[in-house]
Chain A
Amino acid sequence: MSNLTKSFNVKPRDFVGAGEASIKVQEVLKAVGFEEDLIRRTSVCAYEAEMNIVMYGGDGNISLNIDPEKITLNITDDGPGIENIEMSLVEGYTTSSAKYQEMGFGAGMGLPNIKNNSDSLEINSQKDKGTHLKIRFKVKG
């Protein structure tokens, strides 16, 4: 077996449990013993994606796949989908409500942050059919 797969569910609007899936992702990466910066970048992306599900998505899942060359995060949810993918990648663009902004979220940095911290990001989303993010990180050496 040259790869390792783990999968974690994420519940929408569950602000108490929010972040737990990303912490588990982080634990797996640490257990494998990747270098620190790769762990940090992957954790940042997992957390941003998890918060997107919690705030905007439907029932969701974070699946982590590790092989000797790369780390892949497949993040899916069956929520309302992203209406304008291009704009969602612009820093500061947000569709979030005033309520989330009061909570310190919804600054329009989620997807841009994922893009900046990963080696590749694919977004598949259709209105009312949910969203699928595929985020990849290269493993050096």
Chain B
Amino acid sequence: MAESPQNAESVHYVEIDEALCNGCVLCMKVCPTKAIRVKNHQVARIEGVCINCGECVRVCPNGAAKAVVTESEIKEGQYSVVNASTPLYAQFGEEVMPNDVLLGLKRMGFDYVHDQSYTNEIFSVALELYFIGNLKKLDARLPLISPVCPVVTRLIAYRFPSLLKHIPPLVPPREIVAREAKKRLSAKHGFKQEEVKVLHITPCPAKMISIKEPMLSGSSYLDGAIGINNIYDCLKDSIQKVDEDIVLHHSGGVGLGWAMCGGETAGLDMNCLAISGLQETICYLEKMEMGLLKDIDYVEFRVCLEGCIGGPFTVVDKYQAKQHLQKFIRMFGVEKRVKRQYVQKLYEKGWFFIEKKPIPLKDKPPQLSVSESIKRQNRVEEIVKLLPMSECGACGSPDCRTFAEDVVDGEASLESCIYWDGKK
């Protein structure tokens, strides 16, 4: 490998740097799983289930909440593959074409560079085949929910488990890329499958958790993820020095559009909705759980505003990125470039199906019987009555009700409420 991308292979988890945290409550307030506590005005700690949405990273004014980066190398004698996720193409302005970005990656020393946008188009066709093939059986599972955003699948597993059955049993494109790369490139170049290392260039920290603990496959085929921001300078420099002229980019505008909200659904011949942003996603999941949106076939949820171009690891402003992508889409056209019959064959071979069903993620309430749980809730209600409902967060819990739950569970004391006057 020429200029070494080894150090770029990295693992991301959200972590709070205690040296930088000043104990403000912003991250605790935005956390959708109420996983963060700021005890005694000291530092924020992640205590509950983290779904890696990155909201704390975005909101932290001190740079204390960050995605953990641990480095591991591609060793001598291994075959390195990099998968370029679509938002990467939108980071270098309108003049730098997707193919230039891929050539830039190749020049950096990766043995093989894959354009994920092409696999996105294959996935769109597979999804249509699944929908048409199962139309009669799907009734209670409509609308289907896109399996692509790993934060959404975790959010559903944690807060909306009754909606898990709405996620079609299809493997997201990034995993298909990795699986096939290992299979084909190992055979072609005489490596063992485990010697082919596939890295995903990601706009979000959530891809890493989906690699370590995948919801939809037994284990991930990807070996690691590199944040776009991590590779940006190196790649930009490499793009400027590209002197090769081969075609690595194969998708049309449909596959490219996936990086932004509405891009996945734009390529589908179905009745769709596309929703982005964490709060909107939660709001529409609540609606779905109440039986709404039954007349819709498919919902694309992206937890980042405007889709993956709004991911925490992107470099370019999301609206600018959208502008660049729209220009590319006009340029490459809105026809899918994959052949339907080709995808149909792969579909019949079982190429797209997941290995395991997603299961609910649970932490609280602790596993109580219904009558114990009712008792617990009644105690919570009693404590709520003592609280000001000011939702200030000064106690160290995200809101008054959660504080009451923490008190009942013995994780906080009533004295931590700055408004509580000591009367019981």
Chain A residues with CB under 8 Å of chain B are 1-4, 6, 19, 22-23, 26, 28, 30-34, 36-37, 39-40, 43-44, 46-48, 66-68, 113, 117, 139, 141
Contacts and interface: CB of A to CB of B under 8 A. Distances in A.
Interface in B286-328: 286-287, 289-292
A1 B161 contact: no
Given A2-B371, A34-B370, A44 B377 contact: no
B374 A48 contact: no
A44 B290 CA distance: 4
Contacts of B162: 36-37, 39-40
B306 to A, nearest CB: 26
B184 interface: no
A65 to B, nearest CB: 10
16 contacts: A1-B374, A3-B374, A4-B378, A19-B287, A23-B286, A23-B290, A26-B286, A28-B377, A32-B373, A32-B374, A33-B373, A36-B360, A39-B289, A43-B289, A43-B291, A113-B291
Interface string B26-66: 00000000000000000000000000000000000000000
Given A4-B381, A31-B380, A40-B162, A68 B289 contact: no
A36 B290 CA distance: 12
A1 B375 contact: yes
Contacts of B375: 1-2
Given A47-B290, A113-B291, A36 B373 contact: no
A85 to B, nearest CB: 22
B365 interface: yes
A47 B291 contact: yes
Interface residues of B, number: 23
A44 B291 contact: yes
A23 B160 CA distance: 12
B418 interface: no
Interface in B162-192: 162
Contacts, number: 64
B289 A26 contact: yes
A4 B374 contact: yes
A4 B380 CA distance: 11
Given A32-B373, A33-B365, A33-B373, A1 B290 contact: no
Interface in B351-392: 360, 365, 368-371, 373-375, 377-378, 380-381
A2 B374 contact: yes
Contacts of A66: 374
A33 B368 contact: yes
Q: Which of A19, A22, A28, A31 has the most CB of B within 10 A?
A: A31
- 5 cross-chain pairs, A with B, having the tightest CB-CB distances, nearest first: A36-B162, A47-B290, A44-B291, A40-B162, A68-B371
Nearest to A117: B291
A117 B286 CA distance: 17
Contacts of A28: 377
Contact of A22 (B159, B290, B368): B290
A32 B370 contact: yes
Given A33-B373, A36-B360, A47 B292 contact: yes
Contacts of B370: 32, 34, 68, 139, 141
B14 to A, nearest CB: 24
A133 B286 CA distance: 23
Contacts of A113: 291
A33 B378 CA distance: 14
A46 B381 CA distance: 21
A4 B377 contact: yes
Nearest to A30: B159
B163 to A, nearest CB: 8
B291 A36 contact: no
A34 B375 CA distance: 14
Given A2-B371, A2-B374, A68-B374, A43 B380 contact: no
Contact of A43 (B290, B360, B365): B290
